[in-house]
Structures are given as C-alpha cells and as structure tokens.
Chains A and B, each alone.
Chain A
Amino acid sequence: MTEKASLAFVRDTMLPEQPPPASETGIIKWVRANLFPDVLNSILTIVALYLIIKIVVGAWPWFANGMWATSSLAECREILQGTTGACFSVLTERWNQLLFGFTYPNDQYWRPILAFVLLAFAAAPMLFAMFLPRKLLLFTALYPFIAFWLIWGGTVLTPLFALLGFVAAATVFPRVEKASGFASALGAAVVTAAIVWYVGGLIAGTTPNLIALEPVPSRDMGGFMLNFILGTVCVSLSLPLGILLALGRQSNMPIIKWICVVFIEFIRGVPLITLLFVANVVLAYFLPPGTNFDLILRVIIMITMFSSAYIAEVIRGGLAALPKGQYEAADSLGLDYAQAMRLIIMPQALKISIPGIVNVAVGLFKDTTLVSVISMFDLVGMIRGPILASTEWNGVYWELWGFAILLFFPVCYGISQYSQWLERQLATDHR
C-alpha cells in the first residue's frame, strides 16, 4: 500500500443504528452510576441505607400505636403504658380549632370551606390562562367579593357596593382620560369610587339584614384558615403593587422615582415583626379615637407592603436582564409606554423573575404565622396558645407541629412545582 492510498477513504455502506450494550441501560445502569460508582460512594450508600432503615424502624411504632380517640394526653399515656406511641387524638379533638380558630361559629364552617373550593375555580383562569377561555376571568374578578361575603358574612349589599365602586371607577376612567389626560382621569375615578362606597355604606348600614349571612367579626378568624386568607390576599395584592413599584423605580419622573426608592428601601430595612407590631398597636394612635380599623385589614396592608417591596426588587432584576434593544424595538414601532411595558417588557421581565417571585410568595405564606406574636390565633397561634396551654393537651408537641408541617408543606411545594411548570410552558427562547 502506498502512502497516498492510505489517506483516501470512501464509505460504500452506511452503518445501521444499534442498541447500546445492556449494561448501559435500565435500572442496573442507574444503580451502578448513582449508588455504587466507586468505593467511597458505595460505603456512603450502605451507611445511608442503614440510617434510613434505623429511622423507619424506630419511628414505625410511634405511628402504629398512635391513639386517635382519647380525650387528653394523660389518657393516651395511661393506655400506652410506657410503650412508644403518638397521641393523634389532639388532632381529631381540636380539628376544627386548628383549621378555623376557636371562635368561628361552628354551624357556619361551610362558608369558608365553600370559599376555599371556589378559590380553585377563581385561580384556575389565572394560573392556566393558556388552556382556559378568557371569559372565565370574569369569575376571578368577582371572586374577592364573593369570598369576602362568604367568610365575613353580613348583608350582600356590602360587597355589592364595593364591586359597584370599582365598576363605576372603571367606566369613568377611560371617558375622562380621553378628554383631559391620565392624572385627572385617575382623580375622577377615585372620587367616583369614593362616592359610591360612601353612599353604599350608608344604604348597607340601614339594611343590615338584606340577604344577610350571620356576620363574623375579624377577631373570630383563626387557625389555618387565617394563614390561608392572609397568604392568598397578600400574594395577589403584592404582585401588582410590586410591578408598579419596580416600574416606578425606573421612572424618568424624579418624584415618582424617589417615592418608590424610599418606600422600597425603608420597607426592606425593617423586620416584618416590627411592621406587624406597628399595625397592631402604633397605628391606633394615628387614627381618630373610636375608629375601629379592622385588625386583619391592617395586617394585610403591612404584609402586602412588605412583600411588594421584595417583589419590586426581584422584578427590577428581571427588567435589568432585558437587552436595551427590546425597549428600542418597542419604541421604534410606535408603541407608547404602557403598551411597551404590558406587551413587550413585562411578559419577558416577569418570566425571568418567576423563581424570585415564587421565593417571595412562599416566604410570605409561611411568614403569615408571625401574626401569632400579635396575639392573632392563626395555626401557630392556636397550637401555642389555646391547645398547648390547655390541661388536656399540655406536652403534645410532635403531633401538633407535625400536623402544621403537613398543612404548610403541600401548599408551598405546590407553588414551587407550579412555577417550574410555568417556566417550562413559557420557554420560547430555545437556547
């Protein structure tokens, strides 16, 4: 063979596709690659397996011997006679208290439960907007008023006039805006809503029994229901507020910019607990004597302000990540500021910000348990207060706190999983 001939090569038959060797597929491959790839990892796998078995074997009797129907911890101990076993009866006996607090009227539990079920229908058109018709968003818009009426009760006129105020403002706004600009339209809308609410308040005050549910005052809300109300309301309010703050911080108008910067930096520099104490105690000094500004409303305002500042900063990060060309392309097509933000900038910035926003939302939901320090009886408040302090259940820690974990974990994990799914849905960049 000459040197020249050894360089030339021509393939005349193409090779067929072949399956990989058996040792490279399936469960055997997985076990080898992940559990026993080398000596050190094999030892760690065996040690870990030993620990897992030890824990399961140790904890099993505690679950298996669990008591579900006793009336006190003492009774549990008497039956168990020193053997290991849980006293789950605290959960069955105090079930309603854990979920609804200890003063929500027993015969009205169906109302928060119905509101909870309806929440699923109200949230779906927002969360799965790509699969559901847009018309369903109408129910989402109505839901806050329905839920308020169901949970707090009273005459149906109260939420009806609240809704009417928004509708009136929304009809006035575009008409005035066409004639005399954004600022005066905003003013007119606020005034219109205020008038409707004031008149509505007077009318609702004179006929408190018209199509009324039994009114339940805010101080009677408690248990996991309270955490859930605070979490849902504050998350859904702080997202739009956070967007506005983030945009305001980028504004060319110095006044708006500085209001937003000062607000964000101040709120981020103060612990949430401090704000909650302000809501509970200090705010009362600033209000005229005799006014009873609802405590839950005050707490909602504080938590919303707190998390909106954080969300604003997360979204600012998303805005900063967008190339300048996106703004320029939107501008060069003649889109105005609001259109450019709504159609081009925000959809992209929010998508980038999803992990950060979810982080804040999950944190917020868990932080709602902090209201227990201002003597509201949320789930943690109920456990620490009325339940653990009672003579029957003093000392039942594992069962109660384990139950709290069981309530919080699925919600937070669900939010996290939803956000990852949403990110995959929105991935259009094909990087």
Chain B
Amino acid sequence: MAEAAMKVSNEIAITIEKMNKWYGTFHVLRDIDLTVNRGERIVIAGPSGSGKSTLIRCINALEEHQKGRIEVDGTVLSSDIKNIDKIRSEVGMVFQHFNLFPHLTILENCTLAPIWVRKVPKREAEETAMHFLTKVKIPEQANKYPGQLSGGQQQRVAIARSLCMRPRIMLFDEPTSALDPEMIKEVLDTMVELAEEGMTMLCVTHEMGFAQAVANRVIFMDQGQIVEQNEPKEFFNNPQNERTKLFLSQILGH
C-alpha cells in the first residue's frame, strides 16, 4: 500500500463536541466527542442499534442533533439551511441501499448535482462523470438505468456520483451490507483506492478486513457512546473494554 499517500495531516476536517441526540425520549447518541483530521480513514463498528449510522448521518445533517457542536470544514452545523447545504455539497455520502435515482441514467445520476448545485456546464459535468465512472470501472454502463445494474455496480455508481461533487470528506453508511458476497470485493477495492488517494473517510462497516487494511483508527460504539477507539492493530489484538472483546469474539469467531 502506498504509505506516502496515506499520511494524515494536522489540519482538522471534522470536530464533534459533546454531541447528543434523542429520538423522542430515546437517547441515541450520548456525549460524542470526535476530531477527524484531514486524510484520516476511520472505521466505526458496533452492534446494531449502537448509533453508529446515526452518528455519521448527523455529520451531514440528515439527522438533527439536539445538543453539542459539529463543525465540518470550518462551517458550524446549525439549523441555518445555507450552512447545511454548504456542508452537504462538501461531504459525500454512500448509503447501504445505494439510493440511486431510478428514473435517471447512470450518467445523469452523476451529473445532476454538479449541474444544479455547482452550476457546472453540462459538457464539463459529463466529462467529470465519465472520469469517475472509469475510476470505478464501469464507464460502459453510463447510459443504462440503475435497475439494469447489479448491486455491486450500483454501489460503485453511488460512489462515483458522490465523487463528482468533488467532496473533501466521504461518509460510508454500511456500503457493503446489502451486497452479495461476491460483489463486496469490487466495492471495497474502490474504497481502498479512494483511501490511498488521501480522501478523508468515515465508514460504518462490518468489514473488519477493510478496517485492518485501510483504517488508521477504529471506533467501537455501544449504546450511543464511543466505547473504545484505537489504531487497528491494537484494537483487534489488544481490546480493552469487555464489550469490545465480546463483539470482536463474535464477529471474528468464525
């Protein structure tokens, strides 16, 4: 792996301070403190219902937080719609169920946001889109519709669609959980490639192999809290918290 390209800078990309969130009276996220440097690749793991997806969805305001402070790329996330739209156009997101737009072709999926949000001319947006579709290795599918592609291809299109906005941070919300085993690899390969280029990434995933290979920090969450975080080697070989040990024994047990 190209170690040089994977250097983490001292520049701060995301700051989260004492962030709390409730669904009604249910306390989903409790006192989350997290600082992400530019170029960091963070894997967030944890049992289902531990709040890991909710955490990254708070970063681009798909979920509202009720207490605490989130700052992304120097912009503080408030209820101001202008700030939210600014952050969203800087932060790419990839979903578990791809969420491609089924009424648009692959190419249109990729050019839509650059044309309407960034006001990029159509020709230029299409060139960018083809560049990123080539990067995720499916340029030949550009004129098909999402429904004609396999799950793995759709997820790679979703990654290309996010990249077309030239984001500085990428969020991955269980990107391989809805895929057949043989398609997981093609998506992970794409993500590894992104990491090697120095993209700041936060991934919620159960792919521990990916975490070991790419992440420079693994965060373990349970009951809405960060229970343990460490660099991957230490995290997997020498977990401290009992809950982490149990989780790792279950997930790596077979």
Contacts and interface: CB of A to CB of B under 8 A. Distances in A.
Nearest to A344: B101
A99 to B, nearest CB: 41
A429 B117 contact: no
Contacts of A320: none
B113 A431 contact: no
Contact of B103 (A332, A333, A334, A347): A347
B49 interface: no
Interface stretch (A39-47, A109-117, A321-329, A368-376): A321-329
A339 B112 CA distance: 10
B89 A333 contact: yes
A12 interface: no
Interface residues of B, number: 28
A174 to B, nearest CB: 15
B165 A429 contact: no
Interface string B75-109: 00000010001101101110101011111000000
Contact of B101 (A326, A334, A431): A326
A5 to B, nearest CB: 35
B95 A334 contact: no
Contacts of B101: 326, 329, 344, 348
Interface string A390-431: 000000000000000000000000000000000000101111
A430 B116 contact: no
B116 A343 contact: yes
Interface in A327-369: 328-329, 331-336, 339, 343-344, 347-348, 351
Interface residues of A, number: 22
Given A334-B89, A334-B117, A428-B103, 10 more contacts: A323-B97, A326-B101, A328-B99, A331-B62, A332-B93, A332-B95, A333-B161, A335-B117, A336-B81, A430-B148
8 contacts: A325-B95, A328-B99, A332-B95, A333-B89, A333-B165, A334-B85, A429-B102, A431-B147
A348 B112 CA distance: 15
A77 to B, nearest CB: 61
Contact of B113 (A325, A335, A351): A335
A333 B95 contact: no
Interface in B134-163: 145, 147-148, 161-162
B60 interface: yes
Contacts of B117: 333-335, 339
Contact residues of A: prevailing secondary structure:
helix
Contacts of B148: 430
Contact of B112 (A328, A333, A428, A429): A333
A328 B147 contact: no
Contacts of B85: 334, 336
B40 to A, nearest CB: 20
B88 A332 contact: yes
B170 to A, nearest CB: 11
Contacts of B89: 333-334
Contact of A348 (B81, B86, B103, B147): B103
Contacts, number: 71
A207 B112 CA distance: 50
Given A334-B165, A428-B147, A329 B116 contact: no
Given A333-B112, A333-B117, A335-B116, A429 B99 contact: no
A323 B96 CA distance: 13
Contacts of A431: 147
A146 to B, nearest CB: 33
Contacts of A333: 88-89, 112-113, 117, 161-162, 165
Nearest to B81: A336
Contacts of B93: 329, 332
9 closest pairs, A vs B, by CB? Answer: A334-B89, A329-B99, A430-B147, A325-B99, A333-B113, A332-B93, A334-B88, A428-B145, A334-B117
Contacts of A323: 97, 99
Contacts of A430: 145, 147-148
A23 B193 CA distance: 60
Nearest to A339: B116
A351 B104 CA distance: 13
A335 B88 CA distance: 9
A354 to B, nearest CB: 13
A182 B201 CA distance: 37
A429 B95 contact: no
A347 B162 CA distance: 21
B102 A428 contact: yes
Contacts of A344: 101, 112
Nearest to A328: B62
Given A334-B88, A334-B89, A344-B101, A328 B95 contact: yes
Contacts of A328: 62, 95, 99
